[in-house]
Amino acid sequence: MSLKKLPKINAKAPTGVKWDTPSDAMSKWDASLVSASSDNATITMYDAIGSDGWTEGVTAKRVSAALRSIGAKDVTVSLNSPGGDFFEGIAIYNLLREHPHKVTVKVVGLAASAASIIAMAGDEIQVAKTGFLMIHNAWVFAIGNRHDLRASADILDEFDGVMAGLYADAAGITAKEAAKMMDDETWMSGQAAVDAGFATSLLDADEVAIDAGSGENANAAIRRVEAIMAQQGLPRSERKDLLNKIKGMPGAALPAMPGAGLLEEIASLTTLYRSIRHE
């Protein structure tokens, strides 16, 4: 079991809701940030948590296999993720919690949403000075009539309570204080995370590298563009449809780092797409 004797989280996925990566976290995520070094006792998590429709993402199945391969010794988790599936994050947290040796979590970039839950599984949690932790209330898409939506809200209340309890235990604060931070969608820089008790120390600068040639960058760019579309209010199904069409165009390419000009182009494209869909 975890050296910190962390609590196990019991949560079952409800029907009628879909989990998604928060659009603001995705738009701020730099997928090129990685650990400068690793070994066979390091588990890398440089993707969304769970499948987001573009890649399989970081899954409990992969983490479980990695832990079996590592065996009975200390484990390092190198983390840079915008979050994603709440329940996949919980499952990964529980797997790390149950590891019988020391777990060190190194946040080399971002640990947002579900990824912040995973980060709390560390006996030692190090965050890069330029890195961030982000905690917020559970983020879902709910479908159904008013009764279904009310039921979904009740379920989310329960999950938010579970997360508040976990953050409170990790940071040494009250659950009420943690819930307020979640309500406010709190972003913490590396130093702020240490000061607030969410991390034990800062990560040395020379432990963070930039992998400009990462195979994930193309998918990361698509996700960031999708996040911008989400902020424009375009439903998820239509975002996927439009991006798949763009990917299928001859010579189509999305830049790795969208700038202000691209934001305007995406907003215009989203407006045009809506008008075509609703004619």
pLDDT tens-digit readout, 238-253: 776 777 766 665 444 4
For the stretch 103-128, pLDDT in tens is: 999 999 999 999 999 999 999 999 99
**CB contact at 8 A, 10 and 163:** no
Q: Which two tokens stand for residue 152?
A: 């979904």
Q: How far is CA 191 from CA 30, 175, 226, in A?
A: 19, 22, 30
149: three-class secondary structure by DSSP: helix
pLDDT number for residue 165: 93
Q: What are phi and psi of 76, to 5 degrees?
A: -115, 135
Start-to-end C-alpha separation, the chain: 58
**Residue 255: predicted pLDDT:** 46
Query: pLDDT at position 266, please?
Result: 55
Determine what percent of the chain falls in helix, strand and coil, rounding each to the nearest 5.
45, 20, 35
Residue 108 to residue 216: CA distance in whole angstroms: 16
The CA distance from 215 to 219, in Å, is: 8
Q: Which residues contact 84 (CB under 8 A, 6 or more apart)?
A: 19, 20, 21, 48, 49, 50, 52, 57, 58, 113, 114, 115
pTM of the predicted model over 0.95: no
Q: How far apart are CA 60 and CA 88, in angstroms?
A: 6
- The answer to whether residues 95 and 61 touch, using CB atoms and an 8 Å cutoff, is no
Which residues in the chain come in under a pLDDT of 70?
Answer: 1-3, 11-21, 53-54, 140-142, 212-224, 226-237, 240, 245-279
> Where along the chain do its domains lie?
17-210, 217-277
Quote the pLDDT of residue 18. 62
Pairing of β 33-35 and β 208-210: antiparallel
Classify domain 17-210 at the CATH class level: alpha beta
Q: Can you give the pLDDT at residue 269?
A: 56
